[in-house]
Amino acid sequence: MSIFKTIVIVGPTGIGKSNLSVLLARKINGEVIGLDSRQVFDFMPIGTGQPNQKEMFGVMHHLVGTHKILKNISAGEYSKLVHKSIKKILKKKKLPIICGGSGLYFRALVNGLFKGSITNLEIRKKLLKRLNSEGSNVLLDKLKLVDPIYARIVHPNNIKRLLRALEIYYITGLGPSEHFKKQEINQENDIFFKIYLKMDLQLLKLKINKRILEMIKNGWIEEVKQISVMAYKNTNQAMESICYKEILQYLDKKISYNELINQININTRQYAKKQIKWFEKEKFDLIIDINNLTENLIIKKIINTFYATN
C-alpha cells in the first residue's frame, strides 16, 4: 500500500484536466483513472473528449472508453470501478491520478453514496407509467408528501430528478433529503488529495470554442452518424451526452451547420457553469487558479503541495 494519497483532479470541461493529468503522471510515475460520466463509454472518443494514444504519452489510462455504450452506469457502480483501478495501480507501485469533470461521480467517490441508491428498473417503469397517465404535477404532489424538503427544489418539468427522488423513496422508504442527512463521510475520504482547477470564465469560453472546432475537425459529426447507424440513435445514458441531440438534428437537416456550432457552444458553456457551481460547494486540498500559469508551473505547484502534505 502506498503511503501517499490518491490524487484527484477535477474542473470544468475544456480547462485542460486530461493533459495535465498525463504530464503529472509522467513526473511522478502514475497512471490515470477517468472520472467522467461519458468518457467511460466506447464508440464515442471524440465527442466525449477521450485522450487519444498520442495525447496519453504512453501513460496507462483506466475507465476511458472501457464501458459498452448500451449499458448504463450509476455513480455508485463507477465509484467501485475506480477503487478497483486504484488497487491495480498501487499493486504496480505506481500512483493513481483520478481525473474528470463529473461532480456526482466525484461526490460518490470521496463521500460515498447512501445505501439503497441503486436503480430499480421495475419501480422506474411503474413511475414512468404514472407519469404518462397522471402527469408530473401528481408525482410532485406525492414527493411533497414523502419528502417536502427535497420537493422544494424539484421543478415539475425536471422529470429526471422527480422520478429519481420517488424511485429512491420507493426503494428505501425514505426520501432523498433524509438520506442526505444520514449520509456519512466515507471513512476512506482521507485517501484522496483533491485538486480543483479553475480559471476566468471568459478565458474558459475561448478554450471551449477552440476545443469544439477541433472536435468537429477531428470527426465528431461523423462519429455521431456512425453511432446512429449502429442503431444507438435513441438509446440510453451515453446518447444523452452533451450536444449529441443537436448533431443528430444537423444530420437530419433540421438545423444548419452554423446553428449547430452556435448551439454546441451554448450547451457546453452552460454545462461548464453547472460544473463550476457544483465544485464550488465541494471541499478541496488544493485549488489552483490557472490563469496565466504555464503547464509546468501548475504541475510544479501540484507536486510541491502534494508531497508537502503527505
Residues 216 and 71 placed together within one structural domain of the fold: yes
Residues 170 and 197 placed together within one structural domain of the fold: no
Average pLDDT over every residue of 226-255: 78
Predicted confidence at residue 183, as pLDDT, reads 59
Instruction: Using the 3D structure, point to which of 164, 182, 200 is the last residue of a domain.
Output: 182
Instruction: Using the 3D structure, point to which of 182, 204, 226 is the last residue of a domain.
Output: 182
What is the distance between the alpha carbons of residues 273 and 18, in angstroms, rounded to a whole number? 19
Residues 127 and 208 placed together within one structural domain of the fold: no
Q: What is each CA distance from 230 to 66, 91, 233, in whole angstroms?
A: 18, 38, 8
- This prediction has a pTM of 0.79
Please, which pLDDT band fits residue 244 given cuts at 50, 70 and 90?
Answer: confident
Residues 82 and 201 placed together within one structural domain of the fold: yes
Residues 131 and 79 placed together within one structural domain of the fold: no
Predicted confidence at residue 222, as pLDDT, reads 95
Weakest mean pLDDT among 1-10, 96-105, 152-161, 207-216 = 1-10
233 pLDDT more than 60 = no
240 pLDDT more than 80 = no
Does some domain include residue 1? no
212 pLDDT more than 80 = yes
- The H or E element spanning position 198 is strand 192-198
- Tell me which DSSP letter residue 3 carries: S
310 pLDDT more than 90 = no
Predicted confidence at residue 69, as pLDDT, reads 84
Residues 178 and 216 placed together within one structural domain of the fold: no
- The H or E element spanning position 100 is strand 95-100
CA 12, distance to chain mean position in Å, is 10
Please, which pLDDT band fits residue 173 given cuts at 50, 70 and 90?
Answer: confident
What is the distance between the alpha carbons of residues 136 and 132, in angstroms, rounded to a whole number? 8
Residues 141 and 167 placed together within one structural domain of the fold: yes
Contact status, residue 43 vs residue 69, Cβ threshold 8 Å? yes
Average pLDDT over every residue of 92-103: 95
Residue 212's identity, in one-letter code, is I
DSSP string, 233-296: TT-TTGGGSTTHHHHHHHHTTSS-HHHHHHHHHHHHHHHHHHHHHHHTTS--SEEEE-TT--HH
Does some domain include residue 42? yes
**Which CATH number do you get for residue 164?**
1.10.20.140
| Residue 210 burial (CB count, 10 A) | 11
Q: Which of 4, 186, 181 is nearest to 89 (CA)?
A: 4
- The H or E element spanning position 184 is none
Task: Name the average pLDDT for the chain.
Answer: 88
Weakest mean pLDDT among 23-32, 229-238, 251-260, 288-297 = 229-238
107 pLDDT more than 60 = yes
Render pLDDT for 4-36 as a digit per residue (tens, 0 to 9).
Answer: 799 999 999 999 999 999 999 999 999 999 999
Please, which pLDDT band fits residue 101 given cuts at 50, 70 and 90?
Answer: very high
Residues 188 and 177 placed together within one structural domain of the fold: no
Average pLDDT over every residue of 112-117: 61
Residues 201 and 288 placed together within one structural domain of the fold: yes
Predicted confidence at residue 184, as pLDDT, reads 53
Predicted confidence at residue 1, as pLDDT, reads 42
Average pLDDT over every residue of 72-94: 90
Render pLDDT for 39-69 as a digit per residue (tens, 0 to 9).
Answer: 999 889 999 889 988 899 999 999 999 988 8
Residues 202 and 176 placed together within one structural domain of the fold: no
Domain range for 30: 6-113+184-308
Does some domain include residue 95? yes
**Which CATH number do you get for residue 37?**
3.40.50.300
Predicted confidence at residue 234, as pLDDT, reads 53
Name the domain count of the chain.
Answer: 2
